[in-house]
Amino acid sequence: MAAGDGAGNDRRKRRRSQGEGALFQRASDGLWVGRADLGWVDGKRSRKTVYGKTEKECREKLTKVQRAAELGVNVTAERRTVAVWLGEWLDIKEGDGTRASTLRAYRWLINTHIVPVIGRVQLDKLTPLDVRRLVASAKKSGLSAGSVRHVHSLIRNALAEAERLDLVARNVAKAVKAPPTPHREVRALRPEEARRLVEVLRGERLEAVFACGLMLGLRRGEILGLRWADVDLDGATLHVRQTLQRVDGSLMFVPAKTERSHRRLPIPPKLVAILRRHRATQTTERTGLGEAWTETGLVFTSSIGTPLEPRNVNRRFDVLRRQAGLPWLRLHDLRHAFASMLFAEGVPARTVMELLGHSTIQLTMNTYTHVMPETQRDAVGRLDRIFSDDAGDDADADEADGEDLAG
């Protein structure tokens, strides 16, 4: 037992229930100590000790260690490589409920770009220079700037978990600056272009699909995951609860990714009318097929009731955009058009953020900086009218009228 860790030197000690481990404050330096009892391994009692400056910090570390041990992480191992730890970290993320599509992206980055570069390095020997070498290798491999940032973010998050479990003394990735992402200008769909597109969409079987993108700013997965149970046409509202995604080659419904994504939205009257027509068409198709119809409860389905294939939706949009003379327009740009038109109408950025389901106001502002100059000019123009001579004359006249009334 290390000096100062004995029970006789403990200033404060907490009794904890069976399996929770010991938690106490060391008298020698005031540091809080937590010991997790991990059972018997190879005939020996296995324990893991963590430290914290406060009781809360130490308790959180202790809970993390116990949770990791339950997921199969060998938290008492003295030495492990970065590759081994990243495998254990993925197990932790999966146990925490990380989406399958996200885990698949993590595994690809780890196996393709991280393990080949720093996988053999001992986790506790990893240095900022190693992380810089990893980022440089990712850039050289031809990854986009955004993907290089993802590599840096992944190793930083994995090391943060290792630090919380006291597997490393510090997160060395924090010492390496994340590579900048060049700003991509989002081209705004002008009002006359939007009207031209709406004209082409009129009467199209998937008109309501694309209208939900243009008039509500929904993502493709959110649109294709809508159920009639989520839509109240009489109340003109819909609730985004799930998305349709392809995971490991199969279409799956997954919950909305974040609390912001899980949102209730008002439906504009024009879209309500489009959705009513769409529901009538779907009812006709269902009646015509009878028992051959596959009931899913989805708002948007194939002609036999099954979920729409996302790639087919994109292919159909490619045909329609060319008919509208908008070859540059992507399906996701309908979401950008929705936001840009709101900003042009003077809608506050926070309201736009909530409608889009963005996680932060910074994301909204950074994405739509291209519409800011116009709204800024309009705001300054309004201020100019306040201080104009005519405005002053009007104010004097109002004041005079007030005095006449008072007299």
pTM over 0.75: no
Question: What pLDDT, on the 0 to 100 scale, is given for residue 68?
Answer: 76
Q: What is the mean pLDDT of residues 291-314?
A: 95
Strands 231-232, 32-41: pairing kind: unpaired
Q: Which of 14-28, 302-316, 369-383, 392-406 has maximum average pLDDT?
A: 302-316
- Higher pLDDT residue, 377 or 234? 234
Please report, rounded to a whole number, the percentage of residues in the chain having pLDDT higher than 70.
81
Measured between its terminal Cα atoms, the distance across the chain in Å is 93
Please write the tens of the pLDDT for every residue from 146-203: 899 999 999 999 999 998 887 887 899 999 998 886 666 667 788 889 889 999 999 9
CA atoms within 13 A on the CB side of 211: 24
Question: What pLDDT, on the 0 to 100 scale, is given for residue 372?
Answer: 54
pLDDT band, very low/low/confident/very high, at 39 (cuts 50, 70, 90): confident
| Both structure tokens of 42 | 């190879």
pLDDT band, very low/low/confident/very high, at 370 (cuts 50, 70, 90): low
CA separation for the pair 329, 332 (Å, rounded): 8
Mean residue pLDDT of the chain comes to 83
If DSSP states are collapsed to H, E and C, what string results for the chain?
CCCCCCHHHEEEEECCCCCCCEEEEECCCCCEEEEEEEEEECCEEEEEEEEECCHHHHHHHHHHHHHHHHCCCCCCCCCCEHHHHHHHHHHHHHHCCCCHHHHHHHHHHHHHHHHHHHCCCEHHHCCHHHHHHHHHHHHHCCCCHHHHHHHHHHHHHHHHHHHHCCCCCCCHHHHCCCCCCCCCCCCCCCHHHHHHHHHHHCCCCCHHHHHHHHHHCCCHHHHHCCEHHHEECCCCEEEECEEEEEECCEEEEEECCCCCCCEEEECCHHHHHHHHHHHHHHHHHHHHHHHHCCCCCECCECCCCCECCHHHHHHHHHHHHHHCCCCCCCCCHHHHHHHHHHHHCCCCHHHHHHHHCCCCHHHHHHHCHHHHHHHHHHHHHHHHHHCCHHHHHHHHHHHHHHHHHHC
Question: What pLDDT, on the 0 to 100 scale, is given for residue 4?
Answer: 44
Please write the tens of the pLDDT for every residue from 205-225: 999 999 999 999 999 999 999
Question: What pLDDT, on the 0 to 100 scale, is given for residue 382?
Answer: 53
Please write the tens of the pLDDT for every residue from 245-283: 887 778 888 887 777 788 999 999 999 999 999 999 999
CA separation for the pair 65, 59 (Å, rounded): 10
Strands 10-14, 263-266: pairing kind: unpaired
pLDDT band, very low/low/confident/very high, at 371 (cuts 50, 70, 90): low
Please write the tens of the pLDDT for every residue from 324-351: 999 999 999 999 888 888 887 888 888 9
CA dihedral 260, 261, 266, 268 (to 10 degrees): 130
- Higher pLDDT residue, 164 or 128? 128
